[in-house]
Structure 1
Amino acid sequence: MVDVVSSDWLADRLGDVRVVDVRDGWEFDGIGHLPGAVSIPFDRFRSADGDVGMLPGRDAWADLLSGAGVAADDDVVAYDDTHGVFAARFLVTALLYGHDSDRLHLLDGDFSAWNRERETTTEATEVAGAVYEITDPAETPLVDFEAVEAALDDPETVIVDTRDPAEYEEGHLPGAVNLDWRELVDDETRGLKPRDELDSILDAAGVTADRRVVLYCNTARRISHTYVVLSHLGYDDVAFYEGSLTEWEARDGAVVEG
């Protein structure tokens, strides 16, 4: 499973994992980064011209990670400075291109949380040579338009809109519940809320581990964070609608307001 790791966990393993910083390049160079981190800015792996949804395409992804010295068998920890939402997108992209989920980790908190207590650097990281080989995952959480449409009438499935309440009110999939991804993070610590709080929030929304969960937002960025959180909490039946509302509306899927 993709999991969420603490700064203590990472500090003990900095020499054994590949740390990926997905902030803008100027932040990586100018503000500083975690020791040993490599820079793979979010806009480098976000493309509407690649595979389904906003995935960058297999060749583009392989070239990008190879150039950053990341191999397909590396243990990877990703971080950003936005509560993990962009880093989570990186990790889910890696998962969808066959990276072992047990080797994918989201740093709890983000750069700012790390920077409060630990060393950062502006020194360039030496990038080792690597050839990133994409494989087809044995299982994929991806679901398409038809699968989501069929799930609307399934009482064992909960459709989850991870956008903010105002967006949800403007229009959402029929029967979808609203669970803003930011509800799961603590603004002060910049990391996930305590487990008991997370369970309470998820239970209140009807998002429970005994149900199938289908996630969507607008362009699959925000659902990446919720996907990682649910994976970390042990949910084992979580579907990822990569096309999200962008594709849904383009294909005239039903949308309700209010």
Structure 2
Amino acid sequence: MAEATDTGSAVVINALDIASHSQARIPGSVNVPFTDSLTSEGPVARPEEVRASYEETGALEADKPVITYSRAGIAATFDAFQLARLGREDVRVYDGSLTDWTSGDARPLEAD
């Protein structure tokens, strides 16, 4: 993950809510909250209902791989699932996500 953020070689998506993304995020990451993948009735939204959110981040362009993350990785699976449904077969979930990023070596966080 550090290499991807240092070089910009991947689209890095934070699946947490907007407030959490604003308070602390991996540098260079963009936000597509996992809740965007749910409908008001609870089921998972259809791919065409969320396509625009991912298009805005560049996640549907094939020139860079996509890495999703959240606090521990669970919410990130929603974004990875939707991206797979939209045709991205190379999406990776950052296992451990922010919990891993902030443990051990001091890695930077961005905030608004």
TM superposition score normalised by structure 1 = 0.40
Q: Which residue of structure 1 aligns with residue 59 of structure 2?
A: 207
- Kept in 2: contact 1:209–1:236 (CA 8 A): no
Q: Distance in 1 between matches of 2:96 and 2:84?
A: 20
- Kept in 1: contact 2:47–2:86 (CA 8 A): no
Q: Which residue of structure 2 aligns with residue 232 of structure 1?
A: 85
1:88-113 deviation digits (Å, cap 9, x = unpaired): xxxxxxxxxxxxxxxxxxxxxxxxxx
Q: Which residue of structure 1 aligns with residue 50 of structure 2?
A: 198
| Equivalent residue letter for 1:217 | S
- Pick one of 70, 78, 81 that aligns with 1:217: 70
- Kept in 1: contact 2:4–2:10 (CA 8 A): yes
Q: How many residues align?
A: 110
How far is 1:209 from its partner?
4.0
| Equivalent residue letter for 2:58 | G
1:256 is the counterpart of 2:110: yes
How far is 1:245 from its partner?
0.3
How far is 1:221 from its partner?
0.9
How far is 1:229 from its partner?
1.7
Give the 3-state SS of the residue equivalent to 1:159 in structure 2.
Answer: strand
Q: Which residue of structure 1 aligns with residue 99 of structure 2?
A: 246
Give the 3-state SS of the residue equivalent to 1:203 in structure 2.
Answer: helix
TM superposition score normalised by structure 2 = 0.87
Task: Assess, with a 3 A threshold, how the Cα gap between structure 1 residues 177 and 237 changes in structure 2: closer, same or farther.
Answer: same
Q: Which residue of structure 1 aligns with residue 40 of structure 2?
A: 187
How far is 1:194 from its partner?
5.0
Task: Assess, with a 3 A threshold, how the Cα gap between structure 1 residues 189 and 163 changes in structure 2: closer, same or farther.
Answer: closer
Q: Which residue of structure 2 aligns with residue 165 of structure 1?
A: 18
State which structure, 1 or 2, has the greater radius of gyration over its C-alpha atoms: 1
Task: Assess, with a 3 A threshold, how the Cα gap between structure 1 residues 189 and 219 changes in structure 2: closer, same or farther.
Answer: closer
Q: Distance in 2 between matches of 1:194 and 1:174?
A: 27
Task: Assess, with a 3 A threshold, how the Cα gap between structure 1 residues 215 and 156 changes in structure 2: closer, same or farther.
Answer: same
Q: Distance in 1 between matches of 2:61 and 2:40?
A: 25
- Kept in 2: contact 1:162–1:223 (CA 8 A): yes
Q: Distance in 1 between matches of 2:90 and 2:79?
A: 13
Q: Distance in 1 between matches of 2:6 and 2:66?
A: 13
Unaligned runs of 5+ in 2: none
**Equivalence map 1:1-150=2 (5 Å):** 148-150=1-3
Unaligned runs of 5+ in 1: 1-147
How far is 1:191 from its partner?
2.6
